[in-house]
A and B are shown apart, each in its own frame.
Chain A
Amino acid sequence: MITTTSWLGGHALVMPIVLPLVAGALLVLLEKARSRAAVPISLLATGALLILAARLMDQANSGEVAVYLLGNWRAPFGITLALDRLSALMLVLTALVAGGALWFALGFSLKDEARQGQHFHSLFQFQLMGLCGAFLTADLFNLFVFFELLLAASYGLLLHGGTRARHRAALHYVVFNLAGSALFLIAVSLLYGVAGTLNMADLALKLPLLPPAQARLAQAAVLMLLVVFAVKAALLPLYFWLPDTYAAASAPVAALFAIMTKVGVYAIARTSTLLLGPEGGPLAGVASPMLPVLALATLVLAATGALAARHLRVLVAYAVVASAGTLLLAIGLGTRDALAAGLFYLVNSTLVAALWFLLADRIATARGGTDRLEARAFSRGWAPLGITFFAAAVAVAGVPPLAGFMGKALLLQAAGHTPLAGWVVALVLGSSLAMMMALARAGSTLFWKAGAATTAVVPPAGGSGAQGASMLALLAAVLATAAFAGPLAAYTQAAATQLMQRQAYIGAVLNAEPVPPAYDVRREMRERGDAK
């Protein structure tokens, strides 16, 4: 079962981390020197990341878990990277969303660029590095480090070109996440204290064998971990930072942030299948009474928030919260089919969320800079923006024929066998209806009352074709998830199956053989008499 990836000299697995790191470091210098090469290099790096991620996904689709031992240390001792279908899917999604966001950012005029900030591209690459690392790592402490990395980059991106609202949102966001990091560290070190390892595969084997007194501590630690991941994923009591933050960020940054909530979802999916599955001993199903209930409550509140939103971007932010609720519901139900449906929904909802943040910015620009939901004349682009709005609304609310509907339908089908089925059906459909109403009201206010508005429109700052093109590309990706729903559903089904069979993952990580050394430095030193 174990193969080392042979292309790129066997280092293909670490490349999604190294590539943005090198590009980001280079960009720091180039941006400092105000070089013209900065933008092409950023684009090139993101494009290369997309190709790399697609290639890794193709490789992961063989069903093998590829493992990379950093520093060539055997598994529980060194840091391990592991790639299965889920990780590969997340990498591709990250690269897609990043490509769209970056393309959109190119369309900013010079004046906007000053607003966007000097180090936008390097921070963007560092954020990509953190995201890719978090999706690839098989070590809990390493996961913490990559979380901090992507958060640190996101603080910078959020603050760039700071307005008053942005600063206020940033302070809340940073404080909240730092408190989350403290909790993460407590949980991780508690797990180390009871199990003596931080490798997730090794933990999965050691935690079920703990004596009862220590098992309680392990339960507490794992639940704390889930709280931290829920902060990132925006689960009910912990989502209050999200609408403000996402609404305050600039459009490409908010689009990139669309994948950031999915990091939390990914981490919950990974830990709950690896550590809390039926083979988890005292940890089995520790979170299962709470997770689906909280997810359902999140759905209800997100729908309420969307109905109450007075700004388009806040409405979109609540749509992100709703999608996080749906995803966590899928994970919380704990069956393979529900998980597969959730992963299917994840692809569509991430792309749609990114598209929405870009669209909201374009609409605001075309209406003289405000995204307030009130009648106001459009300076240009009324029809294309309206059509995109309609398509994106259909995709996000989960109405046929787009993939959002298919994801929800699969989820409802999968929920049929669980005790919460009635609640799931009622609340998922109810929140979809509320979301649809909110979007329909927003759309009719924005587009149909626009002609009647008498407000004078300020001539817009020139947005360029790049912005429209990037939105078209993301829209095409959203439509593609519906057109190629069959292969995608087969992939997510296989990914869920792979997640549920944790033995393959554990075996691959713990049995990975280090690469035999090309040079035996110690022997050479001994022979030369340099060392004993």
Chain B
Amino acid sequence: MLLLLALGIGTLAGCGTWLLLRERSFDTVLGLTLLSYAVNLFIFAMGRVKPQAVPIMEPGKTPSLATLADPLPQALVLTAIVISFAMTAVLLVIALRTQAHTGSDHVDGEEPRP
């Protein structure tokens, strides 16, 4: 499962980076979105992936990270998701406004000269 997760994060990050480097603003936005997915999964994975573990202590059992999931990365990833979601929205608005102003969806605001 770890390998699958690692490959998934790697694929997302790779695709995100490739899209980020393209010249159309829509591709760039998509690239950043994929990159933020990869980052969110990575944060989650840094809390160690454990099947069937919850971050809730039970009475009678000694709390230990061997049996419980680490709640902190889950809190961090929540914050990161909210921020990246909001930023993607802002970026979309900026990209749309730029296109309206310049009449081009090239990231430089003008078509490259042939």
A residues less than 8 Å from B36 (CB atoms): 178, 182
A residues less than 8 Å from B28 (CB atoms): 175
Q: Is A441 an interface residue (CB 8 A)?
A: no
For residue A212, give the distance in angstroms from its CB to the closest CB of chain B. Answer: 19
Contact present for B90 and A179 (CB under 8 Å)? no
A residues less than 8 Å from B98 (CB atoms): 167-168, 170-171
| Interchain CA distance A170-B102 in the complex, whole Å | 13
Contact present for B87 and A148 (CB under 8 Å)? yes
Contact present for A167 and B83 (CB under 8 Å)? no
| Interchain CA distance A337-B36 in the complex, whole Å | 41
Q: Is B69 an interface residue (CB 8 A)?
A: no
Contact present for B108 and A186 (CB under 8 Å)? no
Contact present for B46 and A155 (CB under 8 Å)? no
A171-B25, A185-B39 are known contacts. Are A152 and B90 too (CB-CB below 8 A)?
Answer: yes
Q: Is A473 an interface residue (CB 8 A)?
A: no
* Size range of the chain A interface in the assembly: 20 to 34
| Mask of A118-133 contacts with B, CB within 8 angstroms, 1/0 | 0000000000000000
Cβ contact of A189, chosen from B35, B43, B90, B95, cutoff 8 A: B43
Q: Is B68 an interface residue (CB 8 A)?
A: no
Q: Is A303 an interface residue (CB 8 A)?
A: no
Q: How many B residues face the partner with a CB closer than 8 A?
A: 34
Interface positions, chain A 159-177, Cβ under 8 Å from B, are 159, 162, 164, 167-168, 170-172, 174-175
Q: Is A190 an interface residue (CB 8 A)?
A: yes
| Interchain CA distance A188-B75 in the complex, whole Å | 13
| Interchain CA distance A374-B80 in the complex, whole Å | 48
| Interchain CA distance A159-B97 in the complex, whole Å | 10
Q: Is A145 an interface residue (CB 8 A)?
A: yes
A interface secondary structure, majority = helix
Contact present for A167 and B35 (CB under 8 Å)? no
Contact present for B35 and A179 (CB under 8 Å)? yes
B residues less than 8 Å from A193 (CB atoms): 45-48
| Interchain CA distance A231-B101 in the complex, whole Å | 28
For residue B5, give the distance in angstroms from its CB to the closest CB of chain A. Answer: 13
Contact present for B87 and A152 (CB under 8 Å)? yes
Interface positions, chain B 82-98, Cβ under 8 Å from A, are 83-84, 86-87, 90-91, 94-95, 97-98
Q: Is A181 an interface residue (CB 8 A)?
A: yes
A141-B76, A168-B108, A175-B107 are known contacts. Are A192 and B46 too (CB-CB below 8 A)?
Answer: yes
| Interchain CA distance A193-B47 in the complex, whole Å | 6
Contact present for B90 and A174 (CB under 8 Å)? yes
| Interchain CA distance A105-B63 in the complex, whole Å | 56
| Mask of A366-384 contacts with B, CB within 8 angstroms, 1/0 | 0000000000000000000
A148-B83, A179-B32 are known contacts. Are A171 and B43 too (CB-CB below 8 A)?
Answer: no
Contact present for A171 and B46 (CB under 8 Å)? no
B residues less than 8 Å from A145 (CB atoms): 79, 83
B residues less than 8 Å from A148 (CB atoms): 83, 87
Contact present for B20 and A192 (CB under 8 Å)? no
B residues less than 8 Å from A192 (CB atoms): 46-47, 72-73, 76
A155-B94, A175-B28, A178-B87 are known contacts. Are A167 and B102 too (CB-CB below 8 A)?
Answer: yes
Contact present for B94 and A171 (CB under 8 Å)? yes
Contact present for A175 and B20 (CB under 8 Å)? yes
| Interchain CA distance A171-B95 in the complex, whole Å | 7
Chain A residue, CB-CB nearest to B102: A164
Cβ contact of A186, chosen from B42, B73, B84, cutoff 8 A: B42
| Mask of B17-59 contacts with A, CB within 8 angstroms, 1/0 | 0001000010010001001101100110111100000000000
Chain B residue, CB-CB nearest to A183: B39
Contact present for A175 and B102 (CB under 8 Å)? no
For residue A123, give the distance in angstroms from its CB to the closest CB of chain B. Answer: 12
A175-B28, A182-B35, A189-B43 are known contacts. Are A162 and B97 too (CB-CB below 8 A)?
Answer: yes
For the A-B complex with A145-B83, A185-B80 known, give 19 more contacts whose Cβ atoms are closer than 8 Å: A148-B87, A152-B86, A159-B94, A167-B94, A167-B102, A170-B94, A171-B94, A171-B98, A174-B87, A175-B28, A175-B91, A175-B107, A182-B36, A182-B38, A182-B39, A189-B42, A189-B43, A189-B73, A193-B48
Question: Sorted from nearest, which 9 A-B pairs have the closest CB atoms?
Answer: A193-B46, A168-B109, A189-B43, A189-B46, A167-B98, A185-B39, A182-B35, A182-B39, A167-B101
User: Which residues of A pack against B, CB within 8 Å?
Assistant: 141, 145, 148, 152, 155, 159, 162, 164, 167-168, 170-172, 174-175, 178-179, 181-182, 185-186, 188-190, 192-193
User: Which residues of B pack against A, CB within 8 Å?
Assistant: 20, 25, 28, 32, 35-36, 38-39, 42-43, 45-48, 72-73, 76, 79-80, 83-84, 86-87, 90-91, 94-95, 97-98, 101-102, 107-109
